[in-house]
Amino acid sequence: WWGSVPMGAPDTILGIRDKYNKDSSPKKVNLGVGAYRDDDGKPFVLPSVRKAEELIYQKCMNHEYAPIAGEVAFREACAKLAFGDCSQPIVDKTNATVQTLSGTGALRLGLDFINRYWQKKREVWLPNPTWFNHPQICDMLCLPYKKYRYYDPKTKGFDVNGACEDLCRAPEGSVILLHACAHNPTGVDPKKEEWECLSKIIKEKKLFPFFDMAYQGFATGSVDRDAQAVRIFVKDGHQVMLAQSFAKNMGLYGERVGALTVLCGDKCTADKVMSQLKVSIRTIYSNPAINGSRIVKEILTNAELKQQWLVDVKAMADRIITMRKMLREAIEGAGSKHKWNHITDQIGMFCYTGLTPAQVDRITKECHIYLTKDGRISVAGITTKNVAYVAESIHKVTSS
């Protein structure tokens, strides 16, 4: 039956882990997947998460089905974290928020909803570049997509004029995908005034903003600061769609826990949207997994634990900022003639190094350092022990 099925391509990001695992060199370094590591290069379980697990264990909870949309307390806590406790949608209860299979599940569910209920077939506009999975999800849903200018390779910063020009010519009703903070893969975010400008254009041109917020807390160490773009748009009256993930900011990668929110403007619409999201969920995985959402709920609704979590997130963000400084200093110290200020100018988990595909091939083959073909490195994979080696290797492949 299935002999004619073509072989699928290995995953651009997750496929790197398999290659890394097969490499027997003691020097190998994995800067591919965006997963936080401690200074020994080990996976990190946040102290707040450990504490939440203990509290949950003590409650001797059962393993019954969760409600289709997830537990109410979990959903409310997610929406408050994103929009702010006293924000209008929270006060008016005009949000339809459901638990999802992390950020990817939220994106898929949200785009599927758009595909089904948008009165006319719409285009999705993605930043150029964007997370590899964004276009892939659109393709799976047969949603046409275009790219708007975002990253300027000359300045290694945000191309504000290019983005504004492109958004101005997007057809009315187009879905504009925005990375709320810590843009993946570039680590380049618009400034506050630039977000305000984007919000204005998107409003005037009657475009639809869909935020992907996978790194709340990771860009600056502050969850409120990192939600600034979403909150500017909400304040400006946009009824945004929002995908949230707790993979990175709580280190709950394998728990697959996140949320999708659709802001609806009134409670009656929110109820209808919610009912349709539930129908979708029921037909895909019936109802969500309970373990990850219990941990998130415990942390976000227990004041003491939440405080601990905010400290944990900041510590992770700070370690990454320190590694950026050390990496830049070490490459410059090695005598590189190139400019490396972008390493410290960019924020979040990723640095878009500027390495060409050929240089990426070389650094992998000759130095056993693994990263994506576009030159993105996960700064979270750098430690005080390997930073000198990574810097030396980058200098080697960029100087000859």
Q: What residues line the site for ligand LMR (CB under 6 A)?
A: 13, 33-34, 131, 184
Query: Cα–Cα distances in Å, from 30 out to 165, 212, 260, 326, 381?
Result: 37, 25, 31, 18, 6
Nearest distance from C-beta of residue 64 to ligand LMR, angstroms: 30
Active site residue 131: yes
Q: How many whole angstroms separate alpha carbon 76 and alpha carbon 84?
A: 11
Q: Looking at 125, 131, 309, 340, which residue is catalytic?
A: 131
8 A C-beta contact, residue 267 and residue 93:
yes
Buried b or exposed e, range 282-301, using 16+ CB within 10 angstroms? eeeeeebebebbbbbbbbbe
Q: Looking at 159, 248, 297, 312, which residue is catalytic?
A: 248
8 A C-beta contact, residue 103 and residue 111:
no
Nearest distance from C-beta of residue 131 to ligand LMR, angstroms: 6
Q: Looking at 159, 189, 212, 226, which residue is catalytic?
A: 212
Nearest distance from C-beta of residue 294 to ligand LMR, angstroms: 23
Judged by beta carbon, residue 131 or residue 150, the one nearer ligand LMR is 131
Nearest distance from C-beta of residue 20 to ligand LMR, angstroms: 13
Chain residue at closest Cβ approach to ligand LMR: 34
Judged by beta carbon, residue 184 or residue 398, the one nearer ligand LMR is 184
- Show Cβ contacts of residue 187 under 8 Å, excluding neighbours closer than 6 positions: 346, 347, 348, 349, 350, 351, 352
8 A C-beta contact, residue 230 and residue 213:
yes
Q: How many whole angstroms separate alpha carbon 70 and alpha carbon 78?
A: 11
Judged by beta carbon, residue 15 or residue 47, the one nearer ligand LMR is 15
Nearest distance from C-beta of residue 333 to ligand LMR, angstroms: 28
Tokens 């748009």, located at residue:
233
Q: First and final CA of the chain: distance in angstroms?
A: 51
Active site residue 248: yes
Strand partners, 175: 124, 208
Active site residue 212: yes
Judged by beta carbon, residue 33 or residue 390, the one nearer ligand LMR is 33
Catalytic (active-site) positions: 131, 212, 248
